Structure 1
Amino acid sequence: MDSTLHSSTLAATTDQAPQPVSRAERTQTIDIIRGFALLGILMMNIPGFGQPWTRWALIFGAPGSTDYYTAMAVETAFSGTMRTLFSMLFGAGMLLFLAKKEDLASGQSVVDYYYRRLLWLVLFGVINGYVLLWTGDILYFYGLCGLLLYPFRKMKATHLVIATVICVVLPFARGIQSNLEFRAKRTAYLEAVKVEQQQKKLTDEQKKAKEAWLEQIKWTKHDPKKEAEIIKGMQSGYGAVFAKLMPRNVNIESRGMYYDFWDMLGMMFLGMALFKIGFFSNKLSASLYWMTLSLGYSIGLLLGNIQFMDQAAMFHDPGAYVDTHFFSVFALYDLRRGATAIGHASLLLLVYRSGVVPWLMKALANVGQMAFTNYLMQSIICTLFFNGYGLGYYGKLAFHQLYYVVAVVWVFQIIFSVIWLQFFRFGPFEWLWRSLTYWKLQPMRLRTEPVAAEPQVTLS
């Protein structure tokens, strides 16, 4: 067992079956970071809940507008970073879960509980996608990626960082390849146009090259007809929305898994490494946190702003962008989001240490303690608010107005979490997940004296 698994997070499990973690044994800083990520992830998901993807062409096509500046702030400082924090904390949570004896007094190995827990998580992800109808679900992917983490639990932090780099390099190489293929299509298109300008007949291959490029850049142009079709479908009844989203969900949970697997696994490895050195549990010096804050934001925010401006240039004129940008900064996506995420976590830890806003830290910790419930609650609230079988606001709000909805949901979830935890040990979906994991109904109501507990179990 790694020496950095601090005794404060360990539980007495030698003489009884495992039980959910008590409040006294939770690592509050981890709950704070998780709560921040949980609230922040809605900032990234809300466009998918409330608008068709065709709106991005309008947003990037209106520089100086409220929507444009809203998108700039969100994309620069938050895009991808909340999922990164969740992935990191998921890796840390795996170590916390396994920080006990391999075999319990009940005769069952902790590994059995670990894999059973993950398989239930996969099922919850399927329900989130196919019942709650949220196509941006992450539970399914996390459950599958988590199945691979166990063999790496005893790996040294330095080796986990190396594993992270390997996982990040693979998407980087794929991004470079995609960029080269994109440029090749542009070159073939320009050659076909040149032949046309010479009033020569195009070959079948040149015709296909021209069509391929025009098809490739269709997503950068606003298509009112396509937008109206999407909005009509999403404002229909449950059955119609289900049928419309089914192909997308299937594609995301099959082909999408292939593309997103490495970046999620890499961030989980990084989270395991950071946990082992005491980063998430507030064990490092203030000077180190200031350093990670400065480096994280310097690298991450700079790259984030460049990426946003490149996106705007791509939407404005994809041909000119390809002609003038030999290297696409989008290939540095994982570096950008990882650096910014570490900056966010460092800032939260420094604020927590300062004691300046204890009420805010407590609020975030409450939300983080109920992260699983709050995550699924966001799907329930937003699909009922936007889809046709609910209030039907899909496509009716401007981009910046979506964040009014985000603010309302934040306030509700903070208040709900505070009130709920006054009476219960954990959220309703946490209770269900743990009961299924241990195949035994877990005590729900808050007790004055906490029962013996297992190591902290986390959504991420």
Structure 2
Amino acid sequence: MSPEMIDLLWTIIGDSPFNRSIEDGLARAVSMKALALFSLLFGIGLAMQFDRIAPERRIPLLLRRLLVLLAIGILHLTLLWNGDILTEYALAGLLVLPFLFAPSWLVIASSLTLLGLYFTSWLIPVLPLLSSSWMMQHVVDANRIYANGNFSQILVFRLSEISAIAPLHLWIFPRTLGLFLAGIVIWRSGLLRDMPHHRVMLLLTALAALAVTIDAGASLATVSLALAYGALILSAASTIWGARLLGWAAPVGRMAFTNYLMQSVIFGVVFYGYGLGLFGRLSVSLALGIGVVVYVLQVIASWCWLRLFQFGPIEWLWRSLMYNKLQPMRLRPHS
């Protein structure tokens, strides 16, 4: 079969009602929700570390932690995938750092203000996307270069895309900052330190967030649905049966940084020209299937790795650079 016929078949398969329904379901229930939920978790993590680090060491350690994250993010953005979120999170973390010293009322007010700016989409007219004709030509170029180019050709094209992608990051930057601050508030509330006693409140929060999502616009629905997911998971995890049911995800979560970067490596091999070259050639169902398989393999690999080591390799590197000292890697015998 000619390459043109193969491309036509991929187009027909990808545009089937089955694939359209999957794409619609992912857009409504998944797309961007994980990023919003992870923003909350990142803010919670910052607040947790702030409380656990000795006061005189807080600023240098957290500052170094965020600068190391920024460096890794820039490398990831340029060498592997320009959809990187680490760079944005590092920059947002640096801006949020002073709020860890602020009173809760100021953190809450700032969070609500930033989320309000995001919900009103005030940055879109200020930072419009490039013209539709440019975008259409760019999609054609991306399908050609990513699917057929070698590493250096893809690198040059990836770098050229950054200016087009930058407005998208700037649009959601107020949301990222607002959710970081909301995470700080959640940690300070004590909710996560005694979840069994707050199970009813967590369920009510999830129900309220789901109710808001039903009639919400895309911007609000992204945040409300992410909040609903988080509250439901926490509520389930606060029970014995829920903790057992969700326990399989603990190892992959403990190695989230490593697994995030490994997905970029794996999918680079799957989609780019220096690998299988499947960029732009898979239906959404096949792409989803590959994603599920990779995730399952990462769950297994994470479980095996943490049977021997305390941290994932990237987590260990991050922690060692943060403390400016090599951290113990292997599990102690009694562990």
Q: Give how far 1:282 is off.
A: 4.8
- Tell which structure's C-alpha radius of gyration is larger: 1
Q: Give how far 1:230 is off.
A: 2.3
Contact 2:316–2:329 (CA<8 Å) still a contact in 1?
yes
Choose from 63, 81, 85 the match for 2:33.
81
Q: Does 1:97 align with 2:10?
A: no
Question: Counterpart in 2 of 1:25?
Answer: none
Query: What's the CA shift string for 1:416-440, capped at 9, x where partnerless?
Result: 1111110000100011111111221
Contact 1:282–1:349 (CA<8 Å) still a contact in 2?
no
Question: Counterpart in 2 of 1:311?
Answer: none
Q: Distance in 1 between matches of 2:141 and 2:169?
A: 27
Contact 1:118–1:143 (CA<8 Å) still a contact in 2?
yes
AA of the residue aligned to 1:80:
M
AA of the residue aligned to 2:250:
A
Measured at CA, do residues 280 and 345 of structure 1 come closer, stay the same or move farther in structure 2, by a change above 3 Å? farther
Q: Does 1:285 align with 2:181?
A: no
Q: Distance in 2 between matches of 1:281 and 1:344?
A: 19
Contact 1:373–1:430 (CA<8 Å) still a contact in 2?
yes
Q: Which of structures 1 and 2 has the larger relative contact order (alpha carbons within 8 angstroms, sep 6+)?
A: 1
Q: Distance in 1 between matches of 2:44 and 2:144?
A: 43
TM-score (structure 2 length as normaliser):
0.86
Contact 1:158–1:273 (CA<8 Å) still a contact in 2?
no
Q: Give how far 1:258 is off.
A: 3.4
AA of the residue aligned to 1:413:
Q
- Structure 2 residue ranges without an equivalent (≥5): 1-9
Q: Distance in 2 between matches of 1:278 and 1:344?
A: 19
Question: Counterpart in 1 of 2:4?
Answer: none
Contact 2:212–2:224 (CA<8 Å) still a contact in 1?
yes
Question: Counterpart in 2 of 1:244?
Answer: 157
Contact 1:301–1:340 (CA<8 Å) still a contact in 2?
no
Choose from 114, 120, 123 the match for 2:71.
123
Measured at CA, do residues 258 and 342 of structure 1 come closer, stay the same or move farther in structure 2, by a change above 3 Å? closer
Question: Counterpart in 2 of 1:294?
Answer: 207
Choose from 118, 123, 140 the match for 1:171.
118
Question: Counterpart in 2 of 1:273?
Answer: 185
| 3-state SS of 1:147 partner | helix
Measured at CA, do residues 116 and 336 of structure 1 come closer, stay the same or move farther in structure 2, by a change above 3 Å? same
Q: Distance in 2 between matches of 1:296 and 1:385?
A: 37
Q: Does 1:350 align with 2:239?
A: no
How is 1:69-218 mapped onto 2 (pairs within 5 angstroms)? 69-99=21-51, 100-103=53-56, 109-132=57-80, 134-175=81-122, 178=125
Q: Does 1:365 align with 2:277?
A: no
Measured at CA, do residues 122 and 256 of structure 1 come closer, stay the same or move farther in structure 2, by a change above 3 Å? farther
Q: Which runs of 4+ in 1 moved over 6 A?
A: none
- Structure 1 residue ranges without an equivalent (≥5): 1-54, 104-108, 183-214, 304-328, 451-460
| 3-state SS of 1:168 partner | helix
Q: Distance in 2 between matches of 1:380 and 1:407?
A: 16
Of all paired residues, the percent bearing the same amino acid is: 29
Query: What's the CA shift string for 1:93-134, capped at 9, x where partnerless?
Result: 11111113212xxxxx231111111111011101111112x1
Q: Distance in 2 between matches of 1:448 and 1:300?
A: 48
Q: How many residues align?
A: 321
Measured at CA, do residues 217 and 126 of structure 1 come closer, stay the same or move farther in structure 2, by a change above 3 Å? closer
Greater helix content: 2
TM-score (structure 1 length as normaliser):
0.64
